[in-house]
Amino acid sequence: MDAKRQEMLTRVGSGTPMGELLRRYWMPVAASCEVKTQSSRRVRLLCEDLVLYRDTAGRPALIEEKCPHRRASLAFGCIDGEGIRCPYHGWKFDGAGTCLETPAEPEGSTLHQRVKATTYPVEELGGLILAYLGPPPAPLLPRYDLFVWEGVLRDVGVAELPCNWLQIMENSVDPSHLEWLHGHHLAYMREKQGQPAPTHYRKKQIKHGFDLFEHGIIKRRVVEGGSEQDDDWQIGHPLVFPIMLRVGSHGQHRFQIRVPVDDTHTRHYWYACYRPAAGSKVPIQEEIPVYEVPWQDDQGEFLLDFVDGQDIMAWVSQGPIADRTREMLGSSDQGLAVYRKLLVDQMELVRNGGDPLGVIRDPNQNQIIELPQEREKYGQGASFLAESMEMGHARYSPIKHIVRDILTAK
Ligand code: FES
Ligand SMILES: [Fe+2]
């Protein structure tokens, strides 16, 4: 790949081709429980510095960080009724960016009428707060199944990673890494620690398929000892365009959401949904918990004894922006070619004024979006459940014991 194409595929700032494509999609900015009523937090998204807050009525809002007056940070502002007030001279803005007051100006001043702060629409769904940074009118926030299913438990893992979003997404169309990184390398690391080596992912992968569908790319595979009759090939699981992966089996379902913070940082969410067999009751969750997924030890070394830590090592060790001018692709990289072409095609579509893949404006198509996902994965059976939770990010979940009890209840 030449340097120009790499720039086009990776850069996410406003006005760049990829930045413009990605701005057509709603993206998570926080878990709902991370922003309490009358509090605020800084958020960086697509190279833009913003402040997310909840007003006195609990409504979330997203505003540019720098005050339009003289650029002080609204992150230190006071939440005041239906808006936020700058700490420096008290200018007050509502959720739409309208300037309501400029208290240091003389009585009768009309200055506030000529001032507007940049704000973006935010909505809450399934325990997340999501924002839309693109041109109006905003499309509908997609009601993906995991966000809206009832009778389930959910949690949200999060990690801030120092690398570009694209190398993380490319990992999602790279099925051969499962056999090597999570199969052989995990066994190698565990053996070095004197622990039993897991064998689950070591099965040789015989065949891969990548099919475009209305929400992205469906990935299929056949593993050694299996056939095209298996769920792995018949159903597969999707890359949900442009920044999500859907995975899971046996009652565990999750989105891995790769939110581009800027060109060299990505906020990674593991949005999990645990769904027991029909008829089983789950406790009501007052709040969907959020937890941090650690990936470095006290010395700053990668944590390599769990699946997601291994993935993070691969992504981060590729560099802040993986240098694709020096890559040497093989036939096992077929999925990358499909995904990159899709990105290029969709950037072109946006440039020509169209709505890209997966953007929804018809409420009838947005009641619930059920996505395909294998029920039975790798022929491993339900007994794999408990072990797989310990092998991945879920080992840090504050509700993992409840989840395990519910999913394994007879
Ligand atoms: S800098 Fe915000 S009110 Fe002056
Ligand atoms: Fe992986």
Specify the range with the lowest mean pLDDT, choosing from 113-122, 146-155, 378-387: 378-387
Compute, in angstroms, the gap from residue 363 CA to the centroid of ligand 2.
34
Please indicate, yes or no, whether residues 36 and 97 belong to a single structural domain of this protein.
Answer: yes
Cβ of residue 72 lying under 6 Å from some atom of ligand 1: yes
Which positions ≥6 away from 179 have C-beta within 8 Å?
201, 202, 203, 204, 205
- Ligand of minimum distance to the alpha carbon of 256: 2
Question: In angstroms, what is the span from residue 71 Cα to ligand 1's centroid?
Answer: 6
pLDDT, position 251: 87
Residue 267 falls within a domain, yes or no? Answer: yes
**Is there a single domain that holds both residue 99 and residue 158?**
no
Per residue in 86-107, pLDDT tens?
A: 999 999 999 999 999 999 999 9
pLDDT value of position 285: 94
Which CATH number belongs to the domain containing residue 377 in this structure? 3.90.380
Whether 281 and 392 share a structural domain: yes
Q: Does one domain contain both 150 and 127?
A: no
In a domain, 61, yes or no: yes
- How far away, in angstroms, is 222 Cα from ligand 1 center? 60
Shared domain check, 227 and 84? no
**What ligand 1 atom has the least distance to the C-alpha of 89?**
3
* pLDDT band, residue 382 (cuts 50/70/90): low
Average pLDDT rounded to a whole number, residues 307-334? 97
Quick one: average pLDDT of 339-357?
Answer: 98
335 and 375 both lie in a single domain: yes
pLDDT band at 409 (very low <50, low <70, confident <90, very high): confident
Atom 4 (ligand 1): residue with closest C-alpha? 89
Give the number of the ligand closest to the Cα of residue 245: 2
pLDDT of residue 197: 81
Last residue in a domain, options 131, 157, 187 = 131
Q: State yes or no: pLDDT of 203 exceeds 90.
A: no
Let me know whether 324 and 212 are in one domain.
yes
For residue 260, report the distance from its CA to the centre of ligand 1, in Å. Answer: 29
**pLDDT on residue 198:** 77
76 lines ligand 1 (CB under 6 A): no
- Average pLDDT along the chain: 94
Question: In whole angstroms, how far apart are CA 210 and each of 152, 230, 246, 333, 338?
Answer: 30, 16, 14, 11, 7
Atom of ligand 1 nearest to the CA of 102: 3
> 186 CA to middle of ligand 2, Å?
11
Q: Which atom of ligand 1 is nearest to the CA of 86?
A: 2
Residue 78 predicted with pLDDT over 80: yes
37 and 181: one domain? no
**Average pLDDT value for residue range 317-330:** 97
Number of domains comprising the chain: 2
Q: What is the pLDDT of residue 276?
A: 87
Domain presence at residue 210: yes
Which residue owns the Cα nearest ligand 1 atom 1? Answer: 70
Cα of 70 vs centre of ligand 1, distance in Å, is: 5
Query: From the CB of 112, is ligand 1 less than 6 Å away?
Result: no
Q: 295 lies in a domain?
A: yes
Residue 116 lies in a domain: yes
Q: Is the pLDDT of residue 383 over 90?
A: no
Q: Based on the fold, state whether residues 120 and 172 are members of the same structural domain.
A: no
383 and 265 belong to one structural domain: yes
Do 214 and 120 share a domain, yes or no? no
For residues 154-175, average pLDDT: 98
Q: Does residue 91 line the site of ligand 1, with CB under 6 A?
A: yes
Q: For atom 3 of ligand 1, which residue has the closest CA?
A: 89
Checking if the pLDDT of 384 tops 90, the result is: no
Q: Which domain range does residue 118 map to?
A: 31-131
pLDDT digits (tens, 9 = 90+) for 241-281: 999 999 988 889 999 999 999 999 999 999 999 998 877 88
Is the residue at 139 inside a domain? no
Position 18 in a domain: no
Q: Look at residue 98 and tell me if it is in a domain.
A: yes
Residue with the larger pLDDT of the pair 83 and 249: 83
Last residue of a domain, one of 131, 157, 188: 131
Answer with the one of 131, 154, 176 that is the final residue of a domain: 131
| Percent of residues, the chain, with pLDDT higher than 90 | 84
| pTM for this entry | 0.96
| CATH code of residue 107 | 2.102.10.10
243, 274: one domain: yes
